[in-house]
Chain A
């Protein structure tokens, strides 16, 4: 017991030292496609096979998708618990805010990409259900002098035309499996479908969905611009693209606290709760590699979206980008 604890402490200290070194390196060499201890490989390979970042490592692009798949395969079981532990439950508020800004109308179709365990879809169905209830109540309330016969006649007319549904799309089957189990345990039977698909190449036809969301998933995509173009393709005219993602903290004091928390606490939590240090190390590093709010807004505009805006939550820890296909 003591030996294993000592081993754990030694691993923690070794890995945290490596973190500090690699963060120092990467921060000094930030702009550019490859940085970190493997930069020599980048210079020699630049001509032939393209490299990208996997956390603070540099890997060939073809490999990144595979490694991301493995990461999420490993964390799938404990994904929700880890989310609660790492963000102290605040991720629920972020997702609630996403729904609040989205304000979906009854009858809308949602595509939840990288939806994994289905957090956004469950909230979406809930929101739309409550909207419909409120509308029904309002319609009935304004006609209080109706007889019971008229009221009962009104009921079937309401439901038929507008059925909102949500499609959860994820590249990782394990995450979808966990999501399906959650849906079954919550008793949700209709309005949800689970599809395996790659965000860079969605298995859907054009002009299908009213709303496209990708929550905490787009930083794992190898070619973000392709994912944005796919989003543009599958949205109906007038459809909305919404992306919830970790972003740059503007306040310097908060930034230091956040960095310390990310690199010191989160991988430890990963090791203790999920038994997987490396995956959570990757998670934290991938956040640092993601473009900041303004740059990502530019990328969204490049894909063709209009009226692009972003909202910062928790001081910039999380940003919600929204664009319209008009």
Chain B
């Protein structure tokens, strides 16, 4: 049985080898890291020669490979490498992608997994279904040691990236003079609404996602995402403050965002109208508080001056102010 499979594999190998330039296998340096590099170069060569799908291109492909090793020794190693138990074609191509894009592959799997969240919730099953939709085995979910937390955090960072793009685009348009500059209150309102609308497709399972974000080992990451998002919104709103205002503004926006998100979770009105009304009211409150604070400050100053005046008058009357 094993011999039969060996024969089949040898046949496949020989067919694959017909495209490769044959060279005598010379002494290959035994250093493991160098051999690993040659092995990779050889695999890349094989990959490129197979993807080119023509026998004559293999000699030209040697000059296009990305390693710094010499072309002719790499050719010889193609021979050497392919004479070992060689890997099947598909794995070489995936392997070639992999050397540059391990994180990108994880991002791709998680993005694919988002499709299955409505079915399986924010869980490892959704990630497994996402991996399978990409043609990978469900065992690749083992790469995600944080499980559902990875999925939720990936989604959040995707939403934040989208929001930043939209805000930058609007900013550009204002710079180019194609759009009016919005007032701060309106700007904040629109930014929060845009951001929260990204949750609408997942709104049934969003409470589960929020509870995952509140797990102790996820809190640092979720706070980091929240704070960068709030910072980005204020930056594009035009805030360049360098004093205590920096903190108060961000704190206010964080409170606004979180409360609106909670309201959205149990909102059942058409197109979440109640949520946007709530948001409007809260922003109005903030604006009112700001003006009230300013008024209080000026009133306070006026009152203080009045009191000072009264005190001086009293001192004059009692004769304490005389210089002797």
Contacts and interface: CB of A to CB of B under 8 A. Distances in A.
Interface residues of A, number: 40
A240 B32 contact: no
Interface string B2-22: 100110000000000000000
A105 B124 CA distance: 8
Contact of B139 (A108, A229, A230, A233): A108
Interface residues of B, number: 35
Interface string A275-309: 00000000000000000000000100110101100
B125 A135 contact: yes
Contacts of A135: 125
Interface in A172-208: 197-198, 201-207
Contacts of B43: 304
B102 A326 contact: yes
A238 B131 contact: yes
Contact of A298 (B32, B87, B94): B32
Contact of B88 (A105, A233, A298): A233
Contact of A205 (B5, B95, B102): B5
Interface string B29-47: 0001001100100010000
B136 A238 contact: yes
A304 B81 CA distance: 12
Contact of A101 (B98, B136, B142): B142
Contacts of B36: 301-302
B128 interface: yes
B136 A102 contact: no
A306 B102 contact: yes
Interface in B58-102: 84-85, 87-88, 90-91, 94-95, 97-98, 102
B137 interface: yes
B164 interface: no
Contacts of B139: 102, 104-105, 108, 210-211, 236, 238-240, 324
A210 B131 CA distance: 12
Contacts of A105: 124-125, 128, 138-139, 141
A210 B1 CA distance: 22
Contacts of A206: 88
A193 to B, nearest CB: 14
Interface in B264-290: none
B158 to A, nearest CB: 22
Contacts of B216: none
Interface in A223-253: 226, 229-230, 232-233, 235-240
Interface in B93-133: 94-95, 97-98, 102, 105, 124-125, 128, 131
Nearest to B6: A201
| From A211, A232, A304, residue with most partner B Cβ within 10 Å | A304
B143 A103 contact: no
B85 A229 contact: yes
B91 A325 contact: yes
Main SS at interface, chain B: helix
B91 A203 contact: no
Contacts of B2: 197-198, 201-203
B137 A239 contact: yes
A37 interface: no
B32 A326 contact: no
Contacts of A315: none
A103 B142 contact: yes
B78 to A, nearest CB: 16
A103 to B, nearest CB: 6
Given A105-B128, A201-B6, A203-B1, A304 B140 contact: no
Contacts of A304: 43, 87, 91, 95
A202 B6 CA distance: 10
Contacts of A207: 88, 90-91
A89 interface: no
B104 to A, nearest CB: 11
B135 interface: yes
B137 A236 contact: yes
Nearest to A306: B98
Contacts of A325: 91, 94
Interface of A: 101-105, 107-108, 135, 197-198, 201-207, 210-211, 226, 229-230, 232-233, 235-240, 298, 301-302, 304, 306-307, 322, 324-326
17 contacts: A103-B142, A197-B2, A201-B2, A202-B2, A210-B138, A210-B139, A232-B91, A233-B85, A233-B87, A233-B88, A237-B136, A238-B135, A304-B95, A306-B95, A324-B142, A324-B143, A326-B102
Given A237-B90, A237-B91, A326-B97, 17 more contacts: A105-B125, A135-B125, A198-B2, A201-B2, A203-B1, A207-B88, A210-B137, A229-B85, A229-B87, A233-B88, A236-B136, A237-B135, A237-B137, A238-B139, A238-B140, A304-B43, A304-B91
* A-B interface, 4 closest residue pairs, ranked by CB to CB distance from nearest: A238-B136, A238-B140, A238-B137, A240-B139
